[in-house]
Amino acid sequence: MPYGRRVTRTVPVVASSLVAGLLDSDASAGAVRLVEVARTRVTVHYETGRSDVPVLCVCTPDAVRLPASVVVAGVSDLRGGGTAGWRVVRWWRPPRPRGLTPPAVVPRSPVDEIRPGELVGRGPGLTPSGDDVLAGALVAAHAVAHPMLAEWREQTRRALATRSTTAVSRGLLQHALEGWAVPPLADYLEAVCAGSTAGAARAGLLAVGHSSGAALAAGADHALATAVREAAA
């Protein structure tokens, strides 16, 4: 049931640079209508009706920071329905790993092929595991300039246009197409490409969500493992 409620008190927020356009248009045009589509203990996801940031996540400081998100101090601040009264105290740039060298040794991935047409929307949950695998692969592909990057992107765009998936996942994939990552995935890629066993970073990534982290890792590991192979082939 969509609803929009005006929030009149001042809410200090830490905002991702990806939502600058949304917040700026807000300030000039009045409060944007946010429609809640999902909620967890530490996050609320809203559809915005915009094409640059289709889904906005409002979360608490301990939540995993999605690329298009805004951090508020506490859960009680998650009851609002609009952006009026939000005051940005700090901007934050989501990580976007680039220029990394794929490592010689990569953990084995259960994924042996990336087929966006079959991955998009596959599986249950707030972010279906197929989408997470694809997002992990896209971000890793960006990070190491994977030879399949252009093709995966093209196939993903087509799949998003024709297949159905959750709004939240759709938003995440859109950002993954451009290489924007959640911090645990970025930390993992940096660590493993620097040649370390990345034990702590991998554990941090696997801890994301219920199974999202494992799926992100599976997609990323596949991309890292195949980057060199594909280039050599």
Partner 1 sequence: MRRIGLRRGAYVDSVTLMQVSRRVASLDRVTSALVAMATDLNVDLAAGMGFEVPDVSPNEMLVAIAADSDEALARAEAEVEAALTEASRPSAPGGFGSAPPPVTVRAAAARSGATAALISTPGQHAFVDAVDAVDAGLLTMVFSDNVPLEQEVALKEYADENDVLVMGPDCGTAVLGGVGLGFANVVRPGPVGIVAASGTGAQHLMSLLDGAGVGVSHCLGVGGRDLSEQVAGRSTMRALDLLAHDEQTEVVVVVSKPPAPAVAERVRARAARLGKPVVLALLGPGQPDLTETARTVAEATGSSWAAPEGWPGSVRHGRGGALRGLFAGGTLCEEAMIVAADRLGPVYSNIPLDPRWALDEDLALGDHHAMLDLGDDRFTRGRPHPMIDGSTRVDLARRLLEDPATSVLMLDVVLGHAAESDPAGELGATVRIATGLEIPVVVSVVGTRDDPQGLDQQIRVLRDAGAWVHRSNAEAARAAVALATGGTP
Partner 2 sequence: MRLTAPESVVVAGASLLADPLRRQAVDVEEVQWQPPTGDPAALATVMADRRRAAANAHALEAMLGAEAQLVDVLPASEVLGLQPGEFLHAGPPIDWDRASGPLRGALIGASLFEGLAATPEEAERLLSGGDVSLAPCHSRGAVGPMAGVVSPSMWMFCLRDEANDASSYCSLNEGLGKVLRYGAYGDEVIDRLRWMTDVLGPLLQKAVRKQGTVDVKAIAGQMVQMGDEGHNRNRAGTLMFLREVLPALIDSGAPTRDVAEAARFVSGNDHFFLNLVMPACKLVTRAGAGIPGSSVVTVMSRNGTDFGIQVSGTGEEWFTAPANTPEGLFLGDYGPKDANPDIGDSAITETAGLGGLSMATAPAIVRFVGGSVPDALATTQRMYDITVGENPAFAIPVLEFRGAPTGVDVTAVVRSGVLPQINTGMAGRVAGTGQVGAGLVTPPMGCFTQALDALAAAVPS
Applying CB under 8 A, the residues found at the interface with partner 1 are 17, 20, 87-93, 96-99
DSSP string for 17-39: GGGHHHHHHHHHH---B-EEEEE
Question: Which residue, 121 or 184, has its beta carbon nearer to partner 2?
Answer: 184
The yes or no reply on residue 148 touching partner 2 (CB under 8 A) is no
Q: Judged by CB, which is closer to partner 1: 18, or 159? A: 18
Sign, CA torsion 208/210/214/220: negative
Whether 84 contacts 32, CB under 8 Å: no
Three-class DSSP category at 2:
coil
State how beta strands 69-71 and 11-16 pair. Answer: antiparallel
Nearest residue (CB) to partner 2, 120 versus 143: 143
Residue 96 DSSP SS3: coil
Closest approach, Cβ 57 to partner 2, in A, equals: 16
Q: Does 71 participate in binding partner 2 (rule CB under 8 A)?
A: yes
Report the distance separating Cα 220 and Cα 111, nearest Å: 10
CB of 69 to partner 1, least distance (A): 14
DSSP per position, 184-206: HHHHHHHHHHTTS--HHHHHHHH
Residue 85 as a binder of partner 2 (CB under 8 A): the answer is no
63 binding partner 2? (CB under 8 A) = no
Which of 27, 73, 200, 207 lies at the binding interface for partner 2 (CB under 8 A)? 73
Closer to partner 1 at the Cβ: 20 or 148? 20
* Number of residues forming the site for partner 2 (CB under 8 A): 9
Phi and psi based region of residue 182 (left: phi greater than 0; alpha: psi -120 to 50; beta: remaining):
beta
Binds partner 2 (CB under 8 A): choice among 3, 51, 76, 90: 90
The verdict on 41 binding partner 2 (CB under 8 A) reads: no
Name which of 23 and 120 has its Cβ closer to partner 1: 23
Q: Does 9 bind partner 2 (CB under 8 A)?
A: no
Query: From CA 52, how far away is CA 58, in angstroms rounded?
Result: 17
DSSP bridge partners of 91: 15
CB of 103 to partner 1, least distance (A): 18
Kindly list the residues in this chain that would bind partner 2 in the complex (CB under 8 A).
12, 14, 61, 71, 73, 89-90, 92-93
